[in-house]
A = this chain, B = another copy of it.
Amino acid sequence: MPAGFSRLARRTEDPAISWLMHSALARPKLISLAAGFTDNDSLPLEHTRALLNQLLRSRKAGRSALQYGSTQGDPALRRLTARRIERMDGRSGEASTDAERMIITHGSQQMLYMLTEALCDAGDIVLVEDPSYFVYLAILQSHGVQARGIAMEPDGVSIDALRARLELLRRSGDLPRVKLLYVVSYFQNPTGITTSLEKKKAILALLRKYERAAGHPIYLLEDAAYRKLRFAGKDIPSALSVDRRRDRVLYVGTYSKPFATGARVGFGILPEPVFTAVCRIKGNHDFGTSHLLQQLMARALSSGRYDRHLAELRKRYAHKASIMREAIRKHFPLEVQWEMPRGGLYFWARLPSRVSAAPGSRVFETALANDVLYVPGELCYADDPTRPKPVHEMRISFGSASERNIREGIRRLGQVLHQELTH
């Protein structure tokens, strides 16, 4: 950016996701295993139409939907959302206060953005899973916030690695700059890893231990974007259920992925004073999420249509994931490591570490030349100078591709990998 632009504008890079989405939209024959789009065939056209008809046939409800609401968001939607999360968590007696400290946003992405604005100045530090959600990393980068990666284990961040990092930061006097740990706790984007309840407990205890040296709270930002997209195993309670004083967890969720990505409704449950800070910022952003979309979601929840849709969606994703698993088994070289996810939209594949799958690598370019796109794992790693960025991984999504394209895409990708590994 030339003179006259802000520091934020100069730091804000072209986000990886636009480039990937653009590639997907621009090459009509491309099989995209990259985009986090949801399945096109599964989109709830009939539900949405029925709900909007109900809504707009009622003069009272319809007018309310087409008018401004409050900055915080629709009370009915907040109540319904809080009750569901409480029920999933196996908690009780907290839903009404959760609804009061909830803010509805234009997708959960907006909540991640505003939380960064509320808590972080340039030069601050945020701890992230290593790897993590790349658009969140882009938000941090644009705000001049330094991301530090915490190594992952099959059930979430390594507590030892987290402790070692906090200890290092304490010794170097950098703890006052540490604001939060960001965890995509269910079927993580990109690895598919789910954080266990034990880890959530251990994380909160550990963060709290270092708060004195930090001089302020160190929050756990729990991004539960994929929680509802579970198709195997049992749900795990959120960090809200282990935050006894209810003052350190920032819980963020969304209806985009489980219902419709075109109707962007997300939310956050925030303790004070984060709640107040974010609500004020939201007032300046847009003084409230589209009331029409909020009322649509509230009706989807209260009518049971959301649940019916979700049940279908889970079945569909389970099926697509199993198709991808079979294709990977059949076509990928044995040296490639991967695991069957239990939810979400992604497989995470690890090539032998000598093989690069990064943008511009032979693997990436050959795949693209064969009209198949994946997300290079490198893009999911923070710019953390304390370790080299792994480049041998790939995020492969079964979300938007058709079953046929999943099979064909994986077949092509397998060919590229076989070629490369025998190179």
Does A154 count as interface, using CB distance less than 8 angstroms?
Answer: no
**Interface hit among A82-90, A287-295, A410-418:** A287-295
A159 CB-CB contact with B under 8 Å? no
Assess the A119–B284 pair: CB atoms within 8 A. Answer: no
Question: Looking at A8, A118, A260, A291, which has the most chain B CB atoms within 10 Å of its CB?
Answer: A8
Contact indicator A48/B56 (Cβ below 8 Å) = yes
Report whether A59 and B45 are in contact in the complex, using a CB–CB cutoff of 8 Å.
yes
| Interface hits, A13-72 → B, CB 8 Å | 13-15, 17-18, 21-22, 25, 35, 37-38, 40, 43-46, 48-49, 52-53, 56-57, 59, 62-71
Q: How large is the interface on A (under 10, 10 to 19, 20 to 34, 35 or more residues)?
A: 35 or more
Q: With A12-B280, A37-B68 given, name 19 new contacts (CB 8 A).
A: A4-B216, A5-B119, A6-B117, A7-B121, A8-B281, A9-B118, A18-B70, A21-B71, A45-B59, A48-B62, A49-B52, A68-B261, A106-B286, A106-B289, A107-B286, A109-B286, A135-B283, A138-B284, A260-B292
A142 on interface, CB distance cutoff 8 Å: yes
Chain B residue nearest to A8 (CB atoms) is B117
Q: How far is the CB of A76 from chain B (nearest CB, A)?
A: 14
The residue from B40, B53, B118, B286 contacting A67, defined by CB atoms under 8 A apart = B40
Given A45-B56, A62-B45: A67 touches B262 (CB 8 Å cut-off): yes
A67 to B48, CA, bound (A): 13
Closest to A38 in B: B67
> CA A38 – CA B64 in complex, angstroms?
11
Task: Judge if A385 is at the interface, Cβ distance under 8 Å.
Answer: no
- Does A183 make an interface contact (CB < 8 A)? no
CB-CB under 8 A for A281 and B138, given A65-B262, A67-B261, A70-B21: no
Q: Is A264 an interface residue (CB 8 A)?
A: yes
Q: Are the C-beta atoms of A4 and B215 separated by less than 8 Å?
A: yes
- Name A25's closest neighbour in chain B (CB-CB): B70
- Does chain B have a CB within 8 A of A104? no
Is the CB of A388 closer than 8 A to any CB of chain B? no
Partner of A285, one of B17, B40, B109, B291: B109
Whole-angstrom distance between the alpha carbons of A198 and B295 in the complex? 45
- Any chain B CB within 8 A of the CB of A1? yes
Spell out A's residues near B (CB within 8 Å). 1-9, 12-15, 17-18, 21-22, 25, 35, 37-38, 40, 43-46, 48-49, 52-53, 56-57, 59, 62-71, 106-107, 109-110, 113, 117-121, 124, 135, 138-139, 142, 179, 214-217, 260-264, 273, 276-277, 279-281, 283-287, 289-293, 295
Residue among A49, A117, A261, A286 with most chain B CB within 10 A: A286
| Contact yes or no, B21 A48, CB < 8 A | no
Chain B residues, Cβ within 8 Å of A1: 273, 277
CB distance from A14 to the nearest CB of B (A): 6
Tell me which residues across on chain B come within 8 A of A118, comparing CB atoms.
Answer: 5-6, 8-9
Could you say which residues of chain B place their CB within 8 Å of the CB of A280? 9, 12-15, 18, 142
| 9 smallest beta-carbon distances between A and B, as pairs | A4-B216, A262-B291, A49-B56, A66-B262, A15-B283, A66-B260, A43-B66, A3-B216, A9-B277
Expressed in whole angstroms, the minimum distance between the Cβ of A59 and any Cβ of chain B is 7
CA distance A307 to B348 in the complex (A): 50
How far in angstroms is the closest Cβ of chain B from A47?
Answer: 10
Give bound CA distance, A25 to B273, whole Å.
23
Given contacts A9-B117, A56-B49, A121-B7, contact A135 B284 (CB under 8 A): yes
Interchain residue pairs with CB less than 8 A apart (16):
A2-B216, A3-B215, A9-B118, A9-B280, A9-B281, A17-B287, A18-B70, A18-B71, A21-B71, A48-B56, A66-B261, A67-B260, A106-B290, A262-B291, A264-B286, A285-B285
Given A5-B119, A261-B68, A285-B113: A52 and B45 interface contact (C-beta under 8 Å): no
When distances are taken between beta carbons in the complex, the residues of chain B under 8 Å from A263 are 66, 290, 292
